[in-house]
Amino acid sequence: MRLLLPALLILLAAPALARADEPAAAAPAVDQPRAQAAMAAYFEGEIHGGYALIGMGVAGLLAGGFLYRHGAPTARGASYPLLGIGLVHLVAGAYVGIASSRRIDTFTTQIASEPSAFVARERPRMTGVSTTLTALKIAEVVLIAGGLSAAAVGWRTDRPRLRGAGLALALEAAATLGFDVVAAQRATRYRTALAQTEVAVWVEPDTGVATATVMYAGRF
């Protein structure tokens, strides 16, 4: 019995002793230049996307104003979605452009001081952005179907304003869907770039020597 207790203690302690002899890994560090490049590329793309939205908005407002003044019932019906969605595109484009410019400055400072903390915050935020874009694309497909259905009803019931409104709604929703498909692809590339490279630092317990290893998490 006296020999059994020391033997059990040795068996229980052996795994811990073995792990103590292995190099200790610190939390993965982030490749700062890669994180900076990924962030800048993404938000520069967002700024260009803001310009595209502004262009879509101006085009919708001009087309809507022209059709409203045209006077025909179908044209006037089409003018309402063009004017309404055009205004939304214009405001959204201005917001995206301004917000993205500010984020480049703010995030550059964060990456310079705490790159690992930045990536730890940015990755879940971008997951939320991708989820939102997916929901928007689904809604836009529904709007396209609804607009075409409304146009068909207007055609069958001889309601020209409903026909025009339905066609314009489907057109604007299709244009917005195309924009969001590109935005979603850009967000996916950014998420991949954020996760692509990490630097793991291993510290030898006996010598205290640190060894850095680059880990790739992207697709090959």
CA pair distance 207, 193, nearest whole angstrom: 34
Judge whether 20 lies within some domain: no
Considering only residues 217 and 4, tell me which one the structure prediction assigns the higher pLDDT.
217
Judge whether 104 lies within some domain: yes
Number of domains in the chain: 1
Query: Is residue 71 very low, low, confident or very high in pLDDT (cuts 50, 70, 90)?
Result: confident
Tens-place pLDDT, residues 88-139:
999 999 999 999 999 999 999 999 999 999 999 999 999 999 999 999 999 9
Tens-place pLDDT, residues 10-60:
333 333 333 333 443 444 688 899 999 999 999 999 999 999 999 999 999
Judge whether 13 lies within some domain: no
State the residue for tokens 């040795």: 10
Judge whether 9 lies within some domain: no
Tens-place pLDDT, residues 139-169:
999 999 999 999 999 999 999 999 999 999 9
Give pLDDT, residue 196.
Answer: 82
Contact indicator for 166, 129 with CB cutoff of 8 Å: no
Judge whether 79 lies within some domain: yes
* Structural domain span for residue 58: 25-216
Tokens of residue 192, six digits = 């991949």
Which uninterrupted H or E stretch holds 213? strand 210-216
Judge whether 17 lies within some domain: no
Rounded (10°) angle between helices 160-196 and 32-70: 170
Judge whether 209 lies within some domain: yes
Judge whether 19 lies within some domain: no
Task: Quote the mean pLDDT of the chain.
Answer: 83
User: What's the full length of the chain, in residues?
Assistant: 220
Query: Is residue 217 very low, low, confident or very high in pLDDT (cuts 50, 70, 90)?
Result: very low
